[in-house]
Amino acid sequence: MLKSFLGRAVRVGVKPILRPNFSVAFQRRWVNGLTAMLPPPRGTKVHRQPMGALPAECLTFGEPAADLAILYLHGGGYNIGSARSYRVVTGRIARAAGVCVYTPDYRLAPEHPHPAALEDALSAYRWLRQQGVRHIALAGDSAGGGLVLATALALRDAGDQRPAALALMSPWTDLATRGETMKTHVKRDPSQSPDGLARWARGYANGLPLDHPLCSPLYADLRGLPPILVHVGSEEILLSDSLRLRERAFAAGVEIQVREFEGLWHDFQLHTGLLREADESLTELGQFLRERLDGCQVRNPA
């Protein structure tokens, strides 16, 4: 009953606003206002923690493990969203993982198109390394999930230390929107629409081909990426982005698991505290990241 109510609320209160009928500025205000009502779990500590010149937040729960960190890249189609608007998610991950979760306010399109967000994500990762954090995992949702993949690819190509693992929620991996569910799930998806995603994609790509591998990491060479865990809803138009990512990662020899949550929509984890599946997803993702971080400590203690 609650799942059905929340799905209808998203369809009525979110999906129409995310279409191109409304300006990006209005979408930012609307989404920030809605998510401001979603608090992190009780006991979460929120610290404003600049990562060099980049505004950011650090969320902790209890006594976090030393020398470990999770870098979270928020969603919002590269055009909207903020660290503040994702505290309900990052707080749950911090609790499940027992690790500090850092969320940078990376620059947003269309004012700051590609590669601004990627540059900021790389800067945040390298800042953590400069602070003495020895092992870092990456997590993100929607566009933030795509940005996680692009960041891991850029780190690999630059010869930086590999992240311990990648946790992705409903990742947007194909800005060219060629997935089958972009057609088959248009009416089923209560949250996203192809025209809304297309506008955000154009604003971010800044004239680059929409299948450029650092904008759409589905088309990249994925070899050498760390283990990946993906959670996605069965009703999403972006479902194909996760399923095709699994195929390409397998082909590249990358360890990947994709869990599909039946009857759920894009970024359903924002309903944590209300929706059992959202709580389950964030707990599983946080525990996955902590296990992989601990594994890095065992293999590379120094």
| Strand-by-strand arrangement of the 135-141 sheet | 44-48, 56-61, 100-104, 68-73, 135-141, 166-169, 228-233, 256-261
Tell me if residue 262 is catalytic: no
In one-letter notation, the amino acid at residue 280 is E
Say which of 114, 135, 185, 266 is annotated catalytic. Answer: 266
Tell me if residue 247 is catalytic: no
Name the token pair of 260: 């599909």
Tell me if residue 142 is catalytic: yes
> What's the CA gap between 204 and 109, in Å, rounded?
5
Say which of 236, 242, 271, 277 is annotated catalytic. Answer: 236
Say which of 57, 74, 85, 142 is annotated catalytic. Answer: 142
Name the token pair of 103: 């969320």
Q: Phi/psi at 296 (nearest 5 deg)?
A: -65, -40
Residues annotated as part of the active site: 142, 236, 266
